[in-house]
Structure 1
Amino acid sequence: MKEWTEIPDIELFSDGGAEPNLGKGGFGVILSYKGRQKEFFEGYKLTTNNRMELMGVIFGLEQLKTKSKVQVYTDSKYVINGITKGWAKKWKKNGWERKKNIKAINSDLWDKLLNAISEHIVEFNWVKGHSGHIENERCDTLANYGINSKELNQDIGYEPNETHNNQNSSTNSTFTKKNKTKIENAGDACRKCGESVVKKAPKKRKIKTNQSYYFEYYLFCPSCKTMYMTEGGKREIVNENRLFE
């Protein structure tokens, strides 16, 4: 049996995205071992941001031919939280249901990721995207190479009829087949990290000249701090001189 010290130490950097989301997608991966690096990227015809984030990490792990100690670096809290908070294991245990009668999204990739992790000793690390992190920035570039590739793969596991939250779809008339990622209600899953968004009221401010509407509230992701301005929160200005008195 090999000693602990003989297990290789690998750094895996990954980034992914779709333009638009849902649309053409790609991921970029860097594997680093003893200062040597290998780069990979792939592109897909129709997919989502979260699927590309997941697929990048899975792809990187699947390149390793021997059991390794792997430090995974990604700017996707969706991926990190799904593993470190035990969401994916719980969903799998529950037959890939996030809640009763609510299907877990991207279950095919979560299953692949859990299987890939089981082959290694893996630790996940979050890095802030677009903040000058060298490998993360390079992976972003590689992901764009994939998106703009002339030869795009088919994301076979992607199910076009899935929504990102699988709830309120019957009552949300703006949640159309064309745009599955529209954020409209508190509790919807953030497009960037998958956390449930909450409703917040903006700071009071003076109405600008010729302004015809304002937002009574917006939706906010407490995890990655993304803001969503919605039609439901929009209010037409009737008497702009008295709105914020």
Structure 2
Amino acid sequence: MEIKAIPHIELFTDGGAEPNPGKGGFGTILKYKGRQKEFFAGYELTTNNRMELMAVIFGLEKIKTKAKVTVYSDSKYVVDSIEKGWAENWEKNNWTKKKGNLVLNNDLWKRLLTVIKKHEVTFNWVKGHAGHVENERCDYLANLGKNSEDKIKDEGYLDYLEHIEDYQEKSIEKEGDLCRKCNTPTVKKTPKKRKIKPNQSFYFEYYLYCPNCKAMYMVEDAKRDVSDEDTLF
């Protein structure tokens, strides 16, 4: 029985928002054996990074059979997050960063990782606006989407705006604030010894400490200027 060769498809993408955030669009080109298909779409309110992601997702989801796909994107955000394994780590950590806040655009990262698993995908970065034929064409298509009359609502971005506090870094300012790493209430601790180095202009009178994971937080309210008396001995 003859084993059918896996097709090799090239996927070129670009996306953006104007302003950022603002109206957005993406352009996608699929190429296979000399044939080429182009796609674009526009969104009412979104971001550059979301459109760069959507361009790749849309193209991969258009492929109907398992394929070797080479993706070309001018977005370091997209390419590095996949090629350097950052997105996979976010997934393993349940889309939560070390400081306790959610990963931005996790709705699209989930979608991208799901579709990647259906194919053999490699990502390549190309310099934008540098004469790369397909990248320039994708930029043109993205602008068509951006300026189209029938733009789509980016529900994922609207959901982000409703829950923006979950994506922002947790503030540690006073005793009792929750640790960024494990959500345990912090306690105030005073150093047993205070060493002041030559030319040091300030020190911290106390710090906030997590009794569970041992994390330490230096806070602005604990900052003290070094006086002449502090440098006498």
Give yes or no for TM over 0.5.
Answer: yes
How many Å separate the matches in 1 of 2:144 and 2:11?
18
AA matched with 1:162: I
Q: Secondary structure at the match of 1:66?
A: coil
Code of the residue aligned with 1:167 in structure 2: it is E
Give 2:86's aligned residue. Answer: 87
Displaced runs of 4 or more, over 4 A: 168-171
Partner of 1:219: none
Report what 1:167 is aligned to: 169
**Range 88-97 or range 56-65, more displaced:** 88-97
Task: In structure 2, list runs of 5 or more residues that go unmatched.
Answer: 174-233
| Correspondence for 2:13 | 14
5 Å matches for 1:68-217?
A: 68-158=67-157, 159-160=160-161, 161-162=163-164, 166-167=168-169
Determine helix, strand or coil for the equivalent of 1:42: strand
Partners of 2:42 and 2:28 in 1: how far apart?
12
Indicate if the aligned counterparts of 2:100 and 2:169 stay in contact, CA closer than 8 A: no
> Could you say if the C-alpha distance between residues 147 and 72 of structure 1 is closer, same or farther in structure 2, counting changes exceeding 3 Å?
same
2:104 aligned counterpart, secondary structure: coil
Shift of 1:169: 7.9
Following the alignment from structure 1 to structure 2, what is the Cα–Cα distance between the partners of residues 29 and 124?
14
Q: What is the identity, as a one-letter code, of the residue corresponding to 1:118? A: K
SS at match of 2:36: strand
The answer on whether the counterparts of 2:41 and 2:146 sit within 8 Å (CA) in structure 1 is: yes
Could you tell me how far apart the structure 2 residues matched to 1:152 and 1:103 are?
Answer: 28
Structure-1-length-normalised TM-score: 0.65
Unaligned runs of 5+ in 1: 172-245
Which residue in 2 is equivalent to 1:228? Answer: none
Cross-structure match for 2:34? 35
Q: CA RMSD in A?
A: 2.1
Q: Per the alignment, do residues 102 and 137 of structure 1 end up closer, same or farther by CA in structure 2, a change over 3 Å counting?
A: same
Which digits, 9 at most, give the CA deviation of each residue in 1:26-63, with x for residues without a partner? 00000000011000000000100000000110000000
Compute the displacement of 1:167 (Å): 3.0
Distance 1:74 1:99, change over 3 A: same
| CA positional deviation for 1:100 | 3.5
Whose helix proportion is higher, 1 or 2?
Answer: 2
Correspondence 1:54-73 to 2 at 5 A: 54-73=53-72
Identity of paired residues, percent? 63
TM-score w.r.t. length of structure 2: 0.69
Aligned residues: 170
